[in-house]
Amino acid sequence: MARIELCNLEKSFGAVKAVKNLSFTIEDGEFVVFVGPSGCGKTTTLRMIAGFEDPSAGEIRIDGRVVNDLEPRDRGLGMVFQSHALFPHKNVAQNIEFGLRMKSVPQADRVKRVREVADMVRISHLLEKMPNQCSGGEAQRVALARTLVTNPSTFLLDEPLSSLDAKLRRELRAECDRLHQTLKRTFIYVTHDQEEAMTLADRIVVMRSGEIVQVGSPMEIYSNPANYFVADFFGSPSMNLVAGEVVQNGTSTRFRSSWFDFALPERFKAATPGTATLGIRPEHVQVHVGTKGDIELPVRLVEPLGKDTLLYFDASNDRAFVAVTEGLGMADIKVGERVALSLDQHLTHLFDTEGRRVNTA
């Protein structure tokens, strides 16, 4: 059991405020992912929970008990580091066994437990090897096993996969997910990779400059980004964001930019006229060849990915306007060809001058 409460948590390094007045509760058994660009305070928050950094202000509670003054080893947590942090002079078995030895578990039990967790993360064949003989993926599995063996109430994972290649990352991501399902423990996972956050999390905490920007399930974050930053951060390719202005034109509300004039759906009727940003995900842009759509743009680049094809269009701003089409049907479109696009009205987003989402009426 571990319910972790962060109450008005702050951390300053000299004049720099790394974490600002952060309050958040992680429920028992939940998989929470802290995500944000580097320097947003996510790792500092994790390190405060672990006990490696002392909060400048605020409280950390585990199951209701304030742990601010507790040593890391007394908090009952387990941590996996970005650099694996295996003990280079001990072999894999000794690395895994370390936590048990520190807790004075008898030899026979230790051997048994090491076998168990090694099986669980599929590294039984590595037990006699030294860490420098393990590949990056293997080393991270060992690091996981070393944490698993002590049976912590909560797993803290600090960008555990960022040093691995894409294929391994997917593989170990699935592994983390599986471990969470079987162990039913609390997982707190820090990453700057929005894809990891989307696939792993029960709840995502989006952070920026030391503050929480949005908390929600992956679907909520993806479908209803609270602001421009979140809209831009999540999704690959990221959301098309077009700068322009909202114009009230008699009965209809329209969005206008230098190259594009679009009738806003009914729900934005109450939007204040003035500068704004219109957002739409690439997969919500329909591409028509030969017919008329909302806009017409020349193709700049075609990226056939196999399962679908990405089309980049020249818009008059520096950022390309992107559309995703299923399959390879559009892969043969010539660069420079003008194509009609229509936007799915229900899936458009509108952000005001401060980047906040304009609430739908």
Partner 1 sequence: MAMTKSRRRRITALVRYAVLSVWGVIAFFPIYWIVSTSFKLDTQWFAWPPYYFPSPPTFANYMNVWFGAEEYAQTQYAISSQKPLISLYNSTVIATTSTFLSVLFGSIIAYGVSRYRILSEVRMFQLLVLRMIPPIVIVAPLSLYYTAIGLIDTRLGLILVYFLTTLPYAVWMTKSFIDEVPREIEQAAEILGASRWRTVFEIVLPLIRSGLVATFLFILILTWSEYLLALIITKTQVTTLPIELSKYQGSTEGRVYGRQAALAVGITVPLMIVGLIIRRHLARGFSFGMVRR
Positions touching partner 1 (CB under 8 A) are: 50-52, 71-73, 75, 77-79, 81-83, 85-89, 98-99, 102-103, 131-132, 143, 146-147, 150
Residue 202 corresponds to which tokens in the numbers above? Answer: 């029960």
Residue 6 beta carbon to partner 1: minimum distance, rounded to whole angstroms: 18
Closer residue to partner 1 (CB): 136 or 355: 136
292 burial via Cβ count (<10 Å: 0-12, 13-18, 19+):
exposed
Q: In what order do the strands lie in the sheet with 252-257?
A: 260-263, 252-257, 240-249, 274-280, 348-351
Residue 85 beta carbon to partner 1: minimum distance, rounded to whole angstroms: 4
For 24, left (φ over 0), alpha (ψ -120 to 50), or beta? beta
User: For 345, what's the count of Cα atoms within 13 Å in the CB-facing half-sphere?
Assistant: 13
Closer residue to partner 1 (CB): 52 or 338: 52
Give the Cα separation of 8 and 6 in Å (integer).
7
Closer residue to partner 1 (CB): 22 or 86: 86
Closer residue to partner 1 (CB): 69 or 71: 71
Residue 86 beta carbon to partner 1: minimum distance, rounded to whole angstroms: 8
Give the Cα separation of 305 and 293 in Å (integer).
25
Largest CA distance in the chain: 82
Closer residue to partner 1 (CB): 12 or 82: 82
Residue 314 in contact with residue 320, Cβ under 8 Å? yes
- Beta-carbon neighbour count of residue 154 at 10 Å? 24
Identify which of 277, 276, 273, 206 has the alpha carbon closest to the alpha carbon of residue 240.
277
Closer residue to partner 1 (CB): 41 or 99: 99
Residue 167 beta carbon to partner 1: minimum distance, rounded to whole angstroms: 22
Residue 127 beta carbon to partner 1: minimum distance, rounded to whole angstroms: 18
Give the Cα separation of 84 and 160 in Å (integer).
7
Residue 87 beta carbon to partner 1: minimum distance, rounded to whole angstroms: 6
Eight-class DSSP state of 265: P
Q: Which residue is listed with tokens 């405020």? A: 17
Residue 245 beta carbon to partner 1: minimum distance, rounded to whole angstroms: 50
Closer residue to partner 1 (CB): 106 or 306: 106
In angstroms, the Cα distances linking 96 to 131, 208, 253, 299 are 11, 35, 63, 54
Residue 70 beta carbon to partner 1: minimum distance, rounded to whole angstroms: 12
Closer residue to partner 1 (CB): 74 or 344: 74
Residue 25 beta carbon to partner 1: minimum distance, rounded to whole angstroms: 22
Closer residue to partner 1 (CB): 98 or 259: 98
Kindly tell me the sign of the dihedral angle through the C-alpha atoms of 296, 298, 300, 302.
positive
Residue 296 in contact with residue 260, Cβ under 8 Å? no
For 323, left (φ over 0), alpha (ψ -120 to 50), or beta? beta
Residue 72 beta carbon to partner 1: minimum distance, rounded to whole angstroms: 5
Closer residue to partner 1 (CB): 58 or 76: 76
